[in-house]
Structure 1
Amino acid sequence: MNRIQELTTIVNGMAPADLRLYYQGGDQRSFWEGIQRSGDYEQDISEIREEGERLLSVPNPPLTYDLFTRFARQGTRLDYEKVYFERRLRLNTFALLTLLEPDKEAYRTALQEMIWSICDEYTWCLPAHLNAESPGGIKGTIDLFSAETGFTLSEIRVLLRGHLPSLLISRIGEEVEERLFIPFLRREHGWETATHNWSAVCAGSIGSAALLLMESGESLAKVLLKTERCMDYYLQGFGADGACLEGLGYWNYGFGYFVYYADLLRKRSRGALDWFLAEKVSRIALFQQKCFLGGKAVVNFSDSHPESTVHIGLSHYLAGLYADFESPPQSLRSGYRDDHCSRWAPALRNLIWRNPLLEGSDWEEASYYLPDAQWLISRSSHGGEVYAFAAKGGSNGEPHNHNDLGHFILYGAGEAWCSDLGCGEYTAEYFGEGRYGYDCNGSQGHSVPIIDGHVQREGSDSAAVVLEAVTGKAVDRLRLELTSAYRVPALRAFTRTLEWNKKGHRPELTLSDRFTFDSPPGSLVERIVTRIQPELVLIDGRRVVMLRGENREQLKAKDSIPERPSSINNRQGLLIRYDNELVEPELTSHVFRDHFGKEAAWYAVDFNVKAPGLHANIDFKFQFI
């Protein structure tokens, strides 16, 4: 029996696609009445209701021709996407409010209008993902958001079937069939073999929609077969360590949609098809608890945000599957408005998958080395404050790649002192030839050297070699050979050692770089990146770079170097100590456009080697005060 025959047999014996997929015993009304009586959901419901009242008072924004064509004309995305996601927010909000208050006509009417409006959209894809010359044309293209939209409408149809007229029920089925199922089965799409979030989100959404809408055993089996292949490719993008190279945000996204699909598949197949039994899946599930530094601060290598919340529903679901999954503290719960893309699947599951009995707790002290990703992450508590350190090797040919081999993040007492800028504003050029001209992507915006005027080069041939990776109770250490990251003819060798010493009252980081050249370089610059404005101070007659916490006082005389400033008092700070005879510090300010199109400041602390020779041994100490 071949695989399609096996799947057809399973499909023919599947459980019905009804409310029992979502609620114990299929009792939807009792669930929603129950959470309204429970104080555990008070904040969630309040946020949804507030958003509903706001949206009832404003018109549904149109997706105009002008907005649709701006990406082609200008390369900008945010104008169209702001309206697109506002429309998804309206759909989600009125659907959830109808579930909460099924007898309120205003919500039900608004939901029906929103379903009709979204079914009327020319395409559910974003313009940035469209190519009219692709084999399927615009109408045959499936992207992340078209797949999500189809999944959303399919799920709303199942959950609210009794509150939707037959015309909308049939139209949802027709639109999803036309926009997703037919093009998915008719041809292969580029994302089907992607080893990153696209394969999971697109295939997971289509597979989920098919599990909810499709009645034909043969057709559903064909969708499940293609989806199975896509999920295999998605999982290939992870090493045995379970690390998501795209960062925690894309773990939430890609792995989230993998889980939403796997859950529906397991339930409908009565356990015959269960992705959660795979050992690699269990390791991927543990990635979240390894990424948090302290508070909302996360290891944000790649196109990831410096801070993150958690999908509490997804977290509680995984905690119910895996004994070593750490349930996060409630303080990290993502609010209803937090997702600027207004995704239905996590918003719903933040309610129906939430377990009020799982209170969660702060992340445990731990040190992790992820050998496939070549990430070292350490988190510890000192004097009631959390301090953390993260560094990476890897390659410069990763998904959502940044040129950042040897880069590190330093966190302590609520501040990210040495930072990763994270993701910038997504534009055509951001994913085009100019990608590494953006500071947040190129190595010029990372804490790595600039060697003889050269920054790191992109590509999988720019790869770190791990010489040593140690995690211990007292010391964590990562030593990397990074020569291939730079195309500097005279560079013979470059190694970087990062040692995180946790033994003292506060931890201390030592950075040691070793360079060997065939001929002296014209320049050698050690760059440290921070979002905190740096200062030069004198301590015991030696220059030191100081970073002060959020409440730091501004220096009255910016051009002077103060001697041991008394204004330090008890405020948190970081000192960067260096050899005054070997390097000369230079402090510069910069601006980049963040993911939301806003200008954000960052600072470069450049240590210029005064007389570069054939060898350079450069050491820095980072001390918390």
Structure 2
Amino acid sequence: MEQNRELGSIVRRMAPADLGLYYPGGDQRCFWQGVLSHPAYRSALREIEEEGMRLSQESIPQVTYGLFALFERQGTRLEYERVYFERRRRMNTFALLSLLYPEREDYQIALHDILWAICDEFTWCLPAHVDASSSEKIRETIDLFSAETGFSLSEIRLLLGDMLPPLLRSRIADEVNERLFEPFLDHMHGRETATHNWAAVCAGSVGSAALLLMQDSERLTQILKRTESSMACYLEGFGADGACLEGLGYWNYGFGYFVYYADLLRKRSRGAIDWLREEKVSQIALFQQKCFLGGGAVANFSDSQPQAAVQTGLSHYLAGIYEAFESPPLSLSAGYREDHCSRWAPALRNLIWLDPGRTGKEWGAADYYLEDAQWLISRVASGHDRYGFAAKGGRNDEPHNHNDLGHFILYGAGEVWCSDLGSGEYTADYFGEGRYGYDCNGSQGHSVPVINGRGQSEGPDSEAIVLEVSIETEEDRLRLDLTKAYREPELLGLIRTMVWNKRGPQPELTVIDEYRFNRPPDSLLERIVTRIKPDIRVLDGEHAVVLRSGNGKSGLVIRYDEGRLTASVQARSYRDHYGKEALWYAIDFEPKQPEAFMTLAFEFRFI
């Protein structure tokens, strides 16, 4: 954005912070009456009402010191966060129900109680994000969730208006000022200059709360100068291709909060400040439609989930701005309960930004090469079935990094056959020295070679070099030099070539690895990662690895040179993002006689 913008002058001429920011003509009651009568909202309203019934029968869960201290004592997060996020779910639910049914006093009373309880919390930050050595250090910290909470309270205060008692309205304003505005203006925060989701979520939430609450134009100008700088830093984390290296989940999160802020700022500034006109922003917006392989399966590199839903409100909003943005099929819409963090901003906008006229459709066949990220993604349509392939180069020092250069994902006929395990359970060790001991993060849990018992190394020097990339009607090809990913002195060169053949009724994948060593390696494993139990069997007179879907109607065959390679399977597990044990299988191919120069090829055919 232009640095010479006269921000102070713009702030003094801003449009009022009122209901006109949210509804046509500022008519809130008319909007929600329309929601109640329109079939497009029926499923979402049912979920919200069911949550209201459940929560009405339960008391507000307490955030205790014992729960808060667990992270410092043992490095675990989920125990405290389950209670914290359940309190946000309660706030969201009764706020939305109060907007939908303003005549229901019981909803308003329940909302008042949870708003008061959240204002009572010692900190809005998560234990994992603070220095717990003193209360002063905690109080001066702004993390993702404290910023979100302040934004949420500010928005609810504006939207609910006189449905909130004057004392509660006053207290919300005081708490947001004390917990967000004052520490934000008092000192710089380390994540303000981050080039990933933290900058967008923290600064976007603080800036949005200020746009909704702050009356003092000079203080608002001071805050917006800082939030504008943070948003510029956030955008620096993207290349011209718009790829979010943190994965689609963090696109929804970080870019979502960027858009929520940009929308409020554009409206209040009467269009004088409009981030959404930026070319790079338009490319980032298109990242979602490039990630899907088929159904809900996505290219989930980094700390991302293998199946994804879309925030329909955000998608419809972007579709209204960018002609090239493809509205997703409604079948992929995220349910109200789906966000385990219970975030207010997307929950509200999934209703107020929903466009009933945009029904969307299944994303069709497409090929993308994201040059800056070094991601190749392809979707192939064959009758009613969809097939997908994704592969990556990049560097092993990306945000939410995994050691995964040369890794690939293979999807077909409703199944992910070659998987990315995605994100594991977030703990202190997960983001500490033990990060790459987790299978989902280290290269041992990705479809890449293991050389002399060691996987890839992390760090900026571990990078893939793209030797060839081509996207054609009948074939896509990605050729990567992966030598720098390994710290093996004997390794002189490792070239991986992936050929995605789209000619037949079903596509086929060929992976070819070319090795050069100064002497034969002591050991070498070619590893393929899957969540589907493999079977090594004789097929057409040759050994092959066979994977079958649960219903037995589809499958994948992996062909290899059994004269040179021995195949084996080992079952392994890791704790997934929700703390549950998740099973996966390592399919390993080991040379019977390692050589200094080897070319090993594998064919993947759908059956």
SS in 1 for 2:574: strand
For the 8 Å contact 1:584–1:609, the answer to whether it is kept is yes
Instruction: Name the SS of the counterpart of 1:514 in structure 2.
Output: strand
Q: What is the alpha-carbon distance in structure 1 between the residues aligned to residue 471 and residue 286 of structure 2? A: 18
Instruction: Render the CA deviation track for 1:262-284: whole Å, top value 9, x for unaligned.
Output: 00000000000000110000000
SS at match of 1:327: coil
Counterpart of 1:86 in structure 2 is 86
In structure 1, distance between residues paired with 2:445 and 2:278: 38
CA contact (8 A) 2:532 2:547 kept: yes
Does 1:586 pair with 2:568? yes
- 2:141 aligned partner, one-letter code: T
Distance in 2 between residues matched to 1:135 and 1:278, nearest whole Å: 41
Structure 1 unmatched runs, 5+? 553-570
1:63 counterpart SS class: coil
Per-residue CA shift, 1:40-99, capped at 9, x if unaligned? 111111100000010000010000110010000010000000000000000000000000
Name the SS of the counterpart of 1:160 in structure 2. Answer: helix
> Is the Cα–Cα contact under 8 Å of residues 94 and 110 in structure 1 kept in the other structure?
yes
CA deviation vs aligned residue, 1:441-460 (integer Å, no higher than 9, x gap): 00000000001111000011
State the AA in 2 paired with 1:362.
E
Is the Cα contact below 8 Å between 2:544 and 2:560 reproduced in 1? yes
User: Match for residue 14 of structure 2?
Assistant: 14
Counterpart of 1:456 in structure 2 is 456
Greater CA drift, 542-551 or 3-12: 3-12
Partner of 2:121: 121
The amino acid that maps onto 2:594 is: P
Aligned length: 606
Deviations, residues 280-305 of structure 1 (Å, cap 9, x unaligned): 00000000000001111111000000
**Percent identity for Structure 1 against Structure 2:** 64
Task: State how far apart, in whole Å, the 2-side matches of 1:594 and 1:135 are.
Answer: 32
Match of 1:171?
A: 171
The correspondence for 1:603, drawn from 558, 582, 585, is 585
Shift of 1:540: 2.4
Q: C-alpha separation between the residues in 1 aligned to 2:298 and 2:539?
A: 32
| Whole-angstrom CA distance in 2 between matches of 1:451 and 1:181 | 52
Which 10-residue stretch deviates more, 130-139 or 502-511? 130-139
Deviations 1:429-484 (A, max 9, x none): 00000000000000000000001111000011100000011111100010000001
TM-score normalised according to structure 2 size:
0.99
Q: Which moved more, 1:543-552 or 1:432-441?
A: 543-552
* 1:136 Cα offset (Å): 6.2
- 1:318 partner letter: L
Q: Name the structure 1 match of 2:141.
A: 141
Provide, for residues 515-560 of structure 1, a one-character-per-residue CA deviation record: whole Å limited to 9, x for no partner. Answer: 00001110111000000000011122210000001224xxxxxxxx
Query: Quick one: distance in 2 between partners of 1:389 and 1:237?
Result: 25
Equivalent in the alignment of 1:251: 251
Q: What's the secondary structure of 1:58's corresponding residue? A: coil
SS at match of 1:401: coil
Kept in 1, the 8 Å contact 2:395–2:459? The answer is yes
Is the 1:4–1:222 Cα contact (8 Å) retained in structure 2? no
List gaps (5 residues or longer) in structure 2: none
Alignment-derived partner of residue 474 in structure 1: 474
Aligned to 1:413: 413
- Alignment partner, residue 508 of structure 1: 508
- Asked if 1:77 is matched to 2:77, the reply is yes
User: Which residue in 2 is equivalent to 1:465?
Assistant: 465
Counterparts of 1:132 and 1:222 in 2: how far apart (Å)? Answer: 29
Which residue number in structure 2 is paired with residue 60 of structure 1?
Answer: 60
> 1:284, 1:472 → 2: CA distance?
24
Give the structure 1 partner of residue 558 of structure 2. Answer: 576
TM-score normalized with structure 1 length: 0.96
SS of the aligned residue for 2:137 comes to: coil
CA distance in 1, matches of 2:546, 2:111: 55
Measure the CA separation in 2 of the matches of 1:12 and 1:540.
Answer: 77
Work out the CA distance in 1 between the residues paired with 2:69 and 2:350: 35
- Map 1:23-62 to 2 at 5 A: 23-62=23-62
Offset from partner CA, 1:404-428 (integer Å, 9 cap, x none): 0000000000000000000000000
Q: Does 1:619 align with 2:601?
A: yes
How far apart in 2 are the matches of 1:223 and 1:69? Answer: 32
Partner of 2:436: 436
- For 1:167, give the aligned amino acid: L
Q: Which amino acid aligns with 1:607?
A: F
Q: Is the 8 A contact 1:532 1:548 kept in 2?
A: yes
**Counterpart of 1:342?**
342
User: What is the alpha-carbon distance in structure 2 between the residues aligned to residue 135 and residue 593 of structure 1?
Assistant: 32
SS at match of 2:420: coil
Q: Which residue of 1 aligns with 2:423?
A: 423
- Is the contact made by 2:364 and 2:381 (CA closer than 8 Å) also made in structure 1? no
Task: Go from structure 1 to structure 2 and tell me whether the alpha carbon gap of 1:181 and 1:4 turns closer, same or farther (over 3 Å shift).
Answer: farther
Rounded to whole Å, the distance in 2 between the matches of 1:172 and 1:116 is 8
Question: Within the alignment, does 1:325 sit opposite 2:325 as a pair?
Answer: yes
The within-5 A match list for 1:201-240 is 201-240=201-240
Match of 2:266 in 1: 266
Paired residue for 2:352?
Answer: 352
CA shift, 1:364, in A, is 2.0
Distance 1:280 1:162 in 2: 41
Counterpart of 1:14 in structure 2: which amino acid? Answer: M
Cα deviation 1:551-571 (Å, max 9, x = unaligned): 24xxxxxxxxxxxxxxxxxx2
Deviations 1:79-132 (A, max 9, x none): 000000000000000000000001101100000011100000000000000014
CA distance in 2, matches of 1:25, 1:499: 55
Equivalents in 1 of 2:551, 2:438: separation in Å?
30
Counterparts of 2:374 and 2:135, CA distance in 1: 39
* CA RMSD, 1 decimal: 1.1
Q: Aligned ranges for residues 554-573 of structure 1 at < 5 Å?
A: 571-573=553-555
Asked if the contact 2:404–2:442 (Cα under 8 Å) also holds between the matched residues in 1, the reply is yes
Do 1:365 and 1:380's aligned partners in 2 also have CA atoms closer than 8 Å? yes
Going from structure 1 to structure 2, the CA distance change for 1:5 and 1:490 (only over 3 Å counts) comes to closer
Amino acid at match of 2:454: H
Instruction: In structure 2, give the amino acid aligned to 1:297.
Output: A
Structure 1 segments of 4+ aligned residues over 3 angstroms from their partners: 2-5, 132-136
Q: By how many angstroms is 1:375 displaced?
A: 0.1
The answer on whether the counterparts of 1:468 and 1:480 sit within 8 Å (CA) in structure 2 is: yes
Aligned to 1:364: 364
Counterpart-to-counterpart distance in 2, 1:254 and 1:3: 23
Amino acid at match of 2:55: L
Report if the CA contact (8 A) 1:4-1:221 is conserved: no
Secondary structure in 1 aligned to 2:425?
coil
Aligned-partner Cα distance in 1 for 2:136–2:506: 59
Kindly state the Cα deviation for residue 6 of structure 1 after the two structures are TM-superposed.
1.4
In 2, Cα distance between equivalents of 1:229 and 1:91: 31
Paired residue type of 1:101: Y
Following the alignment from structure 1 to structure 2, what is the Cα–Cα distance between the partners of residues 586 and 132?
47
Which residue of 2 is the match for residue 307 of structure 1?
307
Inter-partner Cα distance in structure 1 for 2:206 and 2:12: 19
In structure 2, the CA distance between the partners of 1:333 and 1:481, relative to structure 1 (3 Å rule), is: same
